[in-house]
Copies of this chain bind each other. A is one copy, B any other.
Amino acid sequence: MNYKIAVVPGDGIGPEVIDQALRVLDRIGEKYNHNFEYTKVLAGGAAIDATGGCLPQETIDICKASDAVLLGAVGGWKWDTLPGDERPERALLGLRKELGLFANLRPAILFDELSEACPLKPEITAGGLDIVVVRELTGGIYFGEKGFKDTDLGPAAYDVEQYAEEEVRRIAIVAFDMAMKRNKKVTSVDKANVLESSRLWRRVVAEVAKDYPEVELNNLYVDNTAMQMILNPKQFDVIVTSNIFGDILSDEASQITGSIGMLPSASLAQGNFGMYEPVHGSAPDIAGQNKANPMATILSAAMMLRYTFGLSNEADAIEAAVKKVLADGYRTPDLMANGGKEMGTKEAGDLILAAL
């Protein structure tokens, strides 16, 4: 089959890690008889340099006309002096909005082979961790009304956390669907003891849960979740939560894996459309030196195969190849704290291709 992928190499190490991901996709295409058709587009600093704006209309159009988007990373020192709303990172917000990406999926996986890098004691993580945080991405306080007002206490600023039932319902469905393909366990995180929007959240999640009688639903407060993530992270499988709580908890969860250079992410729209990108940034300090770890981008490509194209065997094959390379003792520089056989960006691609 033919799959159309808009590819955004972006800035810093973005182009290098994307190159390796495309090599892996090509090999998958040969092996399983698919045709992946790439259209490279500009976004972020690269787009600013070429066109003056971080997200050209052409990029948006090509992304919309594709089946999925694969993105490297955007941003860098070079554009740090620009005002906030002209910076490369704005391209991500723009893409989320234009493409209707309302669900952010952040798997936090502790690879057995990298467990020395985990900051938690081994007895807490024994047997590995495999959590996915499903974060609502286009609603809540980050996009609510904001401004200034005069109050009894003098000048004040405000931001509104707001959720419509429909926004909660669609993200809850993403989480429960995912749970059905995993361990049938959803933890919904809110602050329903104090927030009205959280009480609505909890009520709608409970309604959605009725359509998934096999899935176990737990409700936890956000402060308790921040603790449980450290105390007993193995209790979690799928976590679903609001934009701001998901922002905090997905970062906390990624940190307990100890290897942020390994973590992929997906941002999904209604239907199967999605944008896939590594969690790490553009790391301009090591750009162009064959030092970047391409595995998070390669694993993002695997997520694309699984979630947008429904190709789970192919996704499994990529994930197994990455694990094989780690098990064989190869490490990119970011993973060398506990030793290993060092590999560069391109060599990582070579080894994963060989393992496929």
A339 to chain B, nearest CB (A): 15
9-residue interface stretch from A13-21, A46-54, A55-63, A161-169: A161-169
- A223 close to B251 (CB less than 8 A): yes
Assembled-state Cα–Cα distance A111/B327 (Å): 38
Q: Quick check: is A173 within 8 A (CB to CB) of the other chain?
A: no
Q: Quick check: is A77 within 8 A (CB to CB) of the other chain?
A: no
Which residues of A in the span 80-134 have a Cβ within 8 Å of any Cβ on B? 84, 118-121, 124
- A147 close to B196 (CB less than 8 A): yes
- B231 close to A196 (CB less than 8 A): no
Contacts of A254 in B (CB 8 A): 227
Contacts of A163 in B (CB 8 A): 156-158
- B164 close to A161 (CB less than 8 A): no
Q: Quick check: is A32 within 8 A (CB to CB) of the other chain?
A: no
A156-B164, A163-B156 known; A226 vs B251 contact (CB < 8 Å): yes
> CB within 8 A of A148: which of B144, B196, B230?
B196
Assembled-state Cα–Cα distance A191/B143 (Å): 13
- A161 close to B159 (CB less than 8 A): yes
Contacts of A34 in B (CB 8 A): none
> CB within 8 A of A165: which of B156, B230, B247?
B156
- A222 close to B195 (CB less than 8 A): no
Q: Which of the listed residues A165, A166, A197, A248 has the most CB atoms from chain B within 10 Å of its own CB?
A: A248
A80 to chain B, nearest CB (A): 13
> CB within 8 A of A197: which of B157, B194, B248?
B157
Q: Quick check: is A183 within 8 A (CB to CB) of the other chain?
A: no
Contacts of A222 in B (CB 8 A): 247-248
Apart from the given pairs A120-B120, A230-B256, A248-B248, 19 other A-B contacts in the complex at a CB distance below 8 Å: A84-B193, A119-B120, A142-B194, A149-B162, A154-B164, A156-B162, A156-B165, A157-B163, A157-B199, A158-B160, A158-B162, A159-B196, A160-B160, A223-B252, A226-B248, A226-B249, A227-B252, A231-B255, A252-B252
Mask for A286-312, Cβ within 8 A of B = 1, else 0?
Answer: 000000000000000000000000000
A281 to chain B, nearest CB (A): 12
Q: Quick check: is A155 within 8 A (CB to CB) of the other chain?
A: yes
- A153 close to B167 (CB less than 8 A): yes
Q: Quick check: is A321 within 8 A (CB to CB) of the other chain?
A: no
Contacts of A149 in B (CB 8 A): 162
Q: Quick check: is A209 within 8 A (CB to CB) of the other chain?
A: no
Contacts of A325 in B (CB 8 A): none
Assembled-state Cα–Cα distance A352/B324 (Å): 56
Mask for A243-285, Cβ within 8 A of B = 1, else 0?
Answer: 0100111111011100000000000000000000000000000
Contacts of A148 in B (CB 8 A): 196, 200
Q: Which of the listed residues A156, A165, A191, A195 has the most CB atoms from chain B within 10 Å of its own CB?
A: A156
> CB within 8 A of A154: which of B119, B166, B244, B252?
B166
- A selection of 7 A-B contacts at a CB cut-off of 8 Å is A119-B121, A119-B231, A120-B120, A151-B164, A155-B164, A155-B165, A230-B255
